[in-house]
Amino acid sequence: MKIMVLGGDGYCGWPTSLHLSDGGHEVVIVDSFVRRQIDHELGVQSLTPVADLRERLRAWREVGGGHIDLEVGDLLDWEFLSGAVRRHRPDAVVHFAEQRSAPYSMIGRRHAVYTQHNNVLGTLNLLFALREFAPDCHLVKLGTMGEYGTPNIDIEEGFIEIEHNGRRDRLPFPKQPGSFYHLSKVHDSHNVDFACRIWGLGATDLNQGIVYGTVTPQTERDPRLVNRFDYDEVWGTVLNRFCIQAAIGHPMTVYGTGGQTRGFLDIRDTVRCVELAILNPAEAGEFRVFNQFTEEFNLAELAGMVGEAAGELGISTRVEHTPNPRVEAEDHYYNARHTRLLDIGLEPHYLNESLLDSLLNIALLHRDRVDPAAVNPRVDWRTGQRPAPQNGDLSPAEPRAGRTGARTGP
Instruction: Establish whether 334 is a catalytic residue.
Output: no
Pick the CATH number of 2-386 from 3.40.50.720, 3.40.605.10, 3.30.110.70, 1.10.630.10: 3.40.50.720
- Taking the C-alpha atoms of residue 10 and residue 162, their distance in angstroms, rounded to an integer, is 38
Identify the burial level of 119 via C-beta atoms within 10 angstroms of its C-beta, where 0-12 means exposed, 13-18 middle and 19 or more buried.
buried
Which residue in the list 11, 123, 141, 185 is annotated as catalytic? 185
- Taking the C-alpha atoms of residue 280 and residue 272, their distance in angstroms, rounded to an integer, is 12
The pLDDT value recorded for residue 384 is: 86
Which residue in the list 114, 181, 212, 334 is annotated as catalytic? 181
What would you report as the CA-atom Rg of the chain, rounded to the nearest whole angstrom?
A: 20
Instruction: Establish whether 181 is a catalytic residue.
Output: yes
Q: Which residues contact 215 (CB under 8 A, 6 or more apart)?
A: 227, 267, 268, 357, 358, 362
Nearest to 304 by CA among 244, 242, 257, 240: 242
Give the Cβ contact number of residue 45 at 10 Å.
Answer: 18
Output b/e per residue, 233-268; b: 16+ Cβ within 10 A: bbbbbbbbbbbbbbbeebebbbbbebebbbbbbbbb
If DSSP codes are grouped into helix, strand and coil, which group holds residue 196? helix
The pLDDT value recorded for residue 385 is: 73
- Taking the C-alpha atoms of residue 261 and residue 359, their distance in angstroms, rounded to an integer, is 20
Domain residue ranges of the chain, discontinuous segments joined by +: 2-386
Which residue in the list 144, 219, 270, 294 is annotated as catalytic? 144
Query: In angstroms, how far is the first alpha carbon of the chain from the final one?
Result: 20
- pLDDT tens profile 321-376: 999 999 999 999 999 999 999 999 999 999 999 999 999 999 999 999 999 999 98
CA atoms in the 13 A half-sphere facing the CB of 121: 14
Instruction: Establish whether 2 is a catalytic residue.
Output: no
**Intervals of the chain under pLDDT 70:** 386-410
